[in-house]
Structure 1
Amino acid sequence: MATAVKVDEGAKSRLEELQAEIRLRTGKTVTQQDLLTRLIDDAYESRDAVIDSFREATVPLTDAEKDAMRRDRFRSGVETDESDIDDVLYG
């Protein structure tokens, strides 16, 4: 049983573009319903990432997050200052 879902014009337009690109690249015509089903199935497989995309950024970090960061740190033996970081990031 199909159910109507309202989406804004931008989302509808992007869905139509994706539908057209699939047709161009594969030669197959897919319905928007089939496309949405595929997208939902794919999102379901990576649901943690989808769920996290709706979280608000947490600043400051929780104690558990701080502990996890400290646990994964290591010393390379190389002293680093701000100019070193700038050189790596910005060349």
Structure 2
Amino acid sequence: MATAVKVDEDAKSRLEELQAEIRLKAGKTVTQQELLSRLIDDAYESRAEVVDSFRESAVPLTDDEKEAMQRGRFSSGTETDEEDIDDILYG
């Protein structure tokens, strides 16, 4: 069952460009439906990246966020260097 999906003109143009490039470089004609299905399959395999691309960036932090992080810091009384951290993380 095919369902219509509305895309803006820029997306439609880029889809057509990609479709033409496949025809030229791969020597195969694919429909836009086939192309979109392939793109969705590929995006599904890397869906964590796709989801992350829609998150609001938390960097750089606001001044309030920086202050909140510093308020939560404390000294354990033990000096730690890079080698200690490597040992803890990587054994």
TM-score, with structure 1 as normaliser: 0.66
Shift of the 58–4 alpha-carbon distance from structure 1 to 2, 3 Å rule, reads same
Indicate the SS of the match to 1:12.
Answer: helix
1:53 aligns with 2:43: no
Structure with the greater alpha carbon radius of gyration? 2
1:74 aligns with 2:82: yes
Unaligned runs of 5+ in 2: 70-80, 84-91
1:11 maps to 11
The count of residues paired between Structure 1 and Structure 2 equals: 66
1:69 maps to none
1:74, distance to aligned residue in structure 2 (A)? 3.4
**Which amino acid letter does the alignment assign opposite residue 26 of structure 1?**
A
Alpha-carbon RMSD: 2.2
Per-residue deviation, residues 25-63 of structure 1 (Å, max 9, x unmatched) = 0110000000000000000000000000000001437x7
Percentage identity across aligned positions?
75
Shift of the 23–74 alpha-carbon distance from structure 1 to 2, 3 Å rule, reads farther
- CA distance in 2 between counterparts of 1:53 and 1:74 reads 32
1:27-46 pair list within 5 angstroms = 27-46=27-46
Unaligned runs of 5+ in 1: 64-72, 76-91
1:20 maps to 20
**Which amino acid letter does the alignment assign opposite residue 53 of structure 2?**
S
- CA distance in 1 between counterparts of 2:25 and 2:52 reads 31
